[in-house]
Amino acid sequence: IGVLVRLALIGAESGLGMSITYVPAFIAATVYGGRRWGWATLAAATLLGVIWPSAFARAGPLIALQTMYLVSGVITVWVSGELRAALIGLDETRRQEAEIRRALDEAEARLKLAQEAGGVGVWDWNLDTGEAHWSSAVHRNLGLDDGEPPNVETMLRVTHPEDRPRLLEMGRQARDGRFEPVEYRVVGSDGAVRWLLSRGEVVEANGARRAIGVNIDVTERRRAEAELRESELRFRTLAD
């Protein structure tokens, strides 16, 4: 196509200028088809130059022109092949990154589903700034809307008055680098009382101390334990 365009524009008497005509073809053939097609294109163009010497615009000895043309073609095909390899490597890297992101998204979705199904809320508390982050399950376990600010005041507001000192003590322990599991009651807007278990650990990340952990609704376990104690008490009374 390049030869025909050049013939149509400037005619055959000025020569075909094969370097100008075919170098873009070498690049395109190598980048899109690989070095095999680049070498084939270079061989075909070189053969054409041998069969049709007038294809070279005369600016020096024919042998020298053909040699320089062949050397230039080899360099062009080799460099284009390296460019193709780099592009393929970049595309493969992007594909792998996309697969990793997709796998992470799926794993995160499964983890979130498991947490939601199991009533496990995840919280993150910056001990230096007081900033906190709660998952939606934490809000639900506390009987709060997702829009409620995640802070100590919000948690104490819904905590049973008898258990508030226990939570404040947990906060003091966390600042000292300790974190003991604690069970406490929360009172919903409807007056229903539920038991939560909060546990975590203190870590240092990016120069900041953070307490990271979970809270779990253990109301059913507490209820079962109370029923068991009541049953044992009835049995002992009957035995007496």
The pair of three-digit structure tokens given for residue 101, joined into one six-digit string: 């992101």
E strands in the chain: 120-126, 132-134, 182-187, 193-205, 208-217
Residue 55 · residue 49 · CB < 8 Å: yes
The pair of three-digit structure tokens given for residue 64, joined into one six-digit string: 């020298």
Residue 155's Cβ-side half-sphere holds a number of Cα atoms within 13 Å equal to 23
Give the orientation angle of helix 62-118 with respect to helix 35-51, to 10 degrees.
160
Per-residue pLDDT, 162: 92
Per-residue pLDDT, 30: 77
Model pTM score? 0.49
- What residues form DSSP beta bridges with 198? 182, 215
Per-residue pLDDT, 55: 58
Q: How far apart are CA 139 and CA 146, in angstroms?
A: 6
Question: Tens-of-pLDDT digits for all 240 residues of the chain?
Answer: 545 554 555 455 544 455 555 677 777 777 777 777 778 877 777 776 667 666 555 555 666 666 766 777 787 878 888 888 887 878 777 887 777 787 776 666 666 665 665 668 888 888 888 888 888 888 888 888 888 888 888 888 899 999 999 888 888 888 787 778 888 898 887 788 888 988 888 888 777 788 888 888 888 888 888 788 888 888 888 887
